[in-house]
Structure 1
Amino acid sequence: NNLRGIVSALKKGEAVWFAPDQDYGRKGSSFAPFFAVENVATTNGTYVLSRLSGAAMLTVTMVRKADYSGYRLYITPEMEGYPADENQAAAYMNKIIEKEIMRAPEQYLWIHRRFKTRPVGESSLYI
């Protein structure tokens, strides 16, 4: 759960799963577009892990089969052209997440309050 341990594991060639589509709050986040919402708090964790470890990054998405007999696992090739700027990296990551969600948008965890952290001065998107 700590950054140092995760970076160490990545440098040893171990696999680490990280959920970059969660709202972790203002600290350690950039505001970037996500679907139709212009300013969404997006963790810089992916950017930090990439820079500190140099590890290959790829996405893993699981989609429930239509007949409920199991799941299909999608593993993408390594990301290329990952931005060196944290704000650009947040926008880049959100585009990738959007693409993965669109595989089966009805299965995404929309109940998660993804838009709870707002830029200073902007009102909540929730009632």
Structure 2
Amino acid sequence: MIRFWMVLWRAVSYLPTPLIGLLGYGLGWLLFWVGRRTTMRNLELCFPGWTPAQRSRVGRKHFMRLTRAALELGLHVWQPKQRMLKMVKLVGWEHLEGCLGQPVIMLNPHFVGLNNGSAAIGERLAESMTLYSRNKNPVVEDFLFQARHRFGAPMLFARQDGLRSIVKRLKQGVPFFYLPDMDFNTKDAVFVPFFGVPASTLTMPSRLASMAHAKVVPVVTRQLSVWKGYEVVFYPPWSHFPSDDPVADTLVINRWLEERVLEMPDQYYWVHKRFGTRPAGEKNLYK
């Protein structure tokens, strides 16, 4: 069955790009009614002051945007590279460019345009690296491998491999993409608020920046209309990061991320159970 969907996905990639986006919006509207439970719970937890209608509207738009981005991922694998690259505009590149050649970490949180933005950045870098988790389905894993390796020359490290190799290459000046906002249980993580809800958050950005004496450059990809594509925004390097307190640094990241989410709440990755890991004795928030 998965191979059938892959064939269909590939066929869709030959459609005009705006039409792919519109198809994604339509399909996402339908998928919202099937798979909205986690998204709506996240929005309820993060925005208790919103009305149910407000949360439903944002959740529905999120599914539409996310599905559009998923369909566009076919362009990464099956279409000429330039077709995808011309969809993406880089803004503030000088903030990253000024740090190249020295240790630099790009904080790249989970917004729906993440894959397109990361590909466009990677294509402009001589080399880069990031972490990854293998997909259990070999067909999907092969697809994702092709998508990840086609733009630029990224080095992929498994999360289980530890930090030694990453720190070594950071010190050599290889830029590191880091996604700071996923729940990976409590190992190497602390509970800090995200929209007022304690969230298990990895301290890795602070520890890596400290060990490698790395600059931290935040970057966010915004999905625009189906005719305009995507905009990648680089922010100035943080001047007071890391501190000597990894917990305080992690809170800094979450507060910065909250500001970005409020700018485009329908584009954050709400389908992820961000609050799945709970402090000892606290009930599951998704049941």
Could you tell me the TM-score, scaled by structure 1's length? 0.92
- % identical equivalent positions: 32
1:26 aligns with 2:183: no
Matched length: 126
1:103 aligns with 2:259: no
Q: For the structure 1 residues 68 and 30, does the alpha-carbon distance in structure 2 shift closer, same or farther, using more than 3 Å as the test?
A: farther
1:77 aligns with 2:229: no
SS of the aligned residue for 1:58 comes to strand
Per the alignment, residue 55 of structure 1 pairs with 214
Q: For the structure 1 residues 126 and 68, does the alpha-carbon distance in structure 2 shift closer, same or farther, using more than 3 Å as the test?
A: farther
Q: Which amino acid aligns with 1:56?
A: K
Q: CA deviation at 1:89?
A: 1.3
Q: Which amino acid aligns with 1:16?
A: F
Q: For structure 1, which segment, 27-36 or 81-90, has the greater mean C-alpha deviation from structure 2 after superposition?
A: 81-90
- Structure 1: give runs of 5+ residues left out of the alignment: none
Q: 1:40 aligns with which of 191, 199, 209?
A: 199
Q: For the structure 1 residues 42 and 68, does the alpha-carbon distance in structure 2 shift closer, same or farther, using more than 3 Å as the test?
A: farther
Residues 58 and 79, structure 1, Cα contact 8 Å, conserved in 2? yes
Over aligned residues, Cα RMSD in angstroms?
Answer: 1.3
Could you tell me the TM-score, scaled by structure 2's length? 0.42
Q: CA deviation at 1:111?
A: 0.4
Q: For the structure 1 residues 73 and 34, does the alpha-carbon distance in structure 2 shift closer, same or farther, using more than 3 Å as the test?
A: same
Per the alignment, residue 34 of structure 2 pairs with none
Q: Which has the larger radius of gyration?
A: 2
Q: CA deviation at 1:4?
A: 1.3
* Counterparts of 1:67 and 1:21, CA distance in 2: 26
Q: CA deviation at 1:102?
A: 2.5
Q: CA deviation at 1:68?
A: 4.7
Structure 1 stretches of 4+ moved >3 Å = none
Compare the two structures and name the one with the higher helix fraction: 2
Q: CA deviation at 1:36?
A: 2.5
Q: CA deviation at 1:10?
A: 1.2
